[in-house]
Amino acid sequence: MQSNFTNVNNIQGLNSTGTIRATSDDGLSGTMLFDILGNLLECDDHAMNFFEAPSKRYLCDNFYSFSPNVQPNKENSEFTFIDNLNQVFTGVPPEFIWLFRTEKNVFKVAEVLLRADADETIKCSIIEFCPESSNILPGQQVVDDLTMYIMDRMPFFFGFIDLNLNLININNAGMQTFKFNNKGEFIKNYLDIFPYLQPCGTTSLQKMRYHIASALKYGTATFEWLQTDKENNEIPGEIRLVRVEESAGKYLMTIFFRDLRNRYRLQRSQARVKERLEAILDSSPLCCFILNKNFKIVDCNLEVLSLFELKSKKEFTNNFHQLYPIFQPDGRMSMEKMREKLKQLMSSGRVYFEWMSKTITDKEIPSEITGVKVNLDSEDMAIVYVRDLREIKNAVKMVEHLNHLAFTDPLTGANNRRFFNESAEKAMNNCLRENSNLSFIMLDIDDFKKVNDTYGHIVGDEVLKILVSRIQNVLRRDTALARYGGEEFMVTLPDIDHESAVKTAWRIQGRVASSDFVIDEKQLKITVSLGVASRNEGMYDLTELITHADQALYAAKTSGKNTVKSYNLEHSF
């Protein structure tokens, strides 16, 4: 595509009707020489005149002050210009559009051409963009009726401007967007509704000329633009310029303006939603954070820092996957469990589960996770609330410990009589409900008073401990041993018939009598007497069943001890 800048050396340019005002015989507005560090070493008279500088030395010493701080494309002028100089020796020599400012504060748009020169210096040629007057009058028809018919049905502003910013024609949408009654009125006054300054700090005319020059060179230019309507209401938008050849060597620009007010309203609304969400998150007493589908942290509240012992939200974002162990307490890999729960959350909208977290210093945090699905910025995400269960877990452990103390005999470690009373009642109720078996064994140490009298109560206590250990080695897990009082013990046997209960009693008797009790190098021969009673059909009284076991024990005691007796319906043992 043909360029629209003057033909200089090997630079492709315009024909004889070109649109660039050249101030030297070779068509250049000025030539300068830079070193590789970006320092201006020399310049010619044309460059000095172009910048309206008082002297060449002044221009060399102050070159970067002859550009605004920021170009219309929002790039820093000095850094960008030096960056373009550095590219001369690394690739294709740069050619670009630039906005300069003269000593008299006049802005000029020019094309800058950089080429490598001798001794690692860089030759810089500038060509001022100064279009001649258009031969098309404002309002003149430049398209056929069919094209204009199509333009008028476009839902956005569309028109033609020449290189001097004269508006040639527009469609109906443009007239309506800016609240004009007819096209002629809009064409006549459209420059008057340009705000003086654009948000980037450049004047509207400077910015538009800069981008027209860019579109003239590159074919198109797209940029943000702030416009006002006839009533001086601001309309943020986006402009796209497209170069169109109107005749040989003469060019127009099609101009498309896209009204971005709805987009900005949506962005402001989303920003307010985000601000409210952040306020809600930070006011929550629970640790919470927002997680996307890729397990990336979007945001978190301040409680996160306290819970995980972190210093900043950024530290949480960067170390999120280090704040849980490889495996969860249920044996599953943490990442696998997290993926599954997030998938459930996205399908059901809410999920609860237990989770083991850890602080940045590797302290475990048993947690309860509540996940809620939300839609933020048109993307499904999860707000994750983390409830620290350490205090609850400690309280549960304390309750369990207190329950253990309440139902445990402190000397032997066996269950106590309170435990037996409650568990026996539950076993009886279950037996009656399901019509199942239930048996009890009551046992007593033979001649235990003689042991205490002979060896002392400390030895007697040790005998009780050893006895409990031996009995527990005989019993099944679903049976319960309890110290009933003194040297008496009760064994609850749910779902055990009478015959099996008797066999269990004989195993206990044999295990106790099979070997001596060794205490402080003393060998004691200890035996027990046992009474067995089982629930018969028609028996509904727990006390009666316990009494039967007691009577059977008494029969064992009176029949020589170290034996087992069982109760039957005929009251024989």
Dihedral in degrees, nearest 10, Cα atoms 260, 264, 265, 270:
140
**Domains in the chain, please, with CATH?**
30-128 (3.30.450.20), 145-259 (3.30.450.20), 283-390 (3.30.450.20), 408-566 (3.30.70.270)
Backbone phi, psi, residue 357, to 5°: -105, 175
Helical segments of 295-379, H only: 303-308, 313-319, 334-348
**528-534 and 438-445 beta bridge pairing:** antiparallel
- At residue 403, the pLDDT reads 78
CA distance 177 to 299: 39
DSSP string over 88-146: GGTSSPPEEEEEEE-TTS-EEEEEEEEEE-GGG-EEEEEEEB-PPPPSS-TT---S-HH
If you count them, how many residues does the chain have? 573
**Mean pLDDT per segment of 10 residues, for the chain of length 573 residues?**
34 31 60 93 94 95 93 90 89 87 90 88 89 58 69 83 86 87 86 91 91 91 93 93 80 89 85 77 83 86 91 91 92 92 91 93 92 84 89 77 82 92 93 92 95 93 94 88 93 93 95 91 93 89 94 94 84 56
DSSP state of 320: G
- At residue 28, the pLDDT reads 83
CA distance 471 to 322: 49
Q: How far does Cα 542 stand from its chain's mean position?
A: 60
Q: Which pTM value belongs to this model?
A: 0.49
**Among the listed residues 130, 124, 125, the one whose alpha carbon sits nearest the alpha carbon of residue 108:** 130
Contact, 423 vs 546, CB < 8 A? no
Residues with Cβ within 8 Å of residue 469, at least 6 apart in sequence: none
DSSP state of 536: P
List C-alpha distances in Å: 291 to 277, 306, 373, 459, 464. 14, 19, 10, 64, 59
User: Which helix (DSSP H) or strand (DSSP E) does residue 398 occupy?
Assistant: helix 390-407
- At residue 4, the pLDDT reads 39
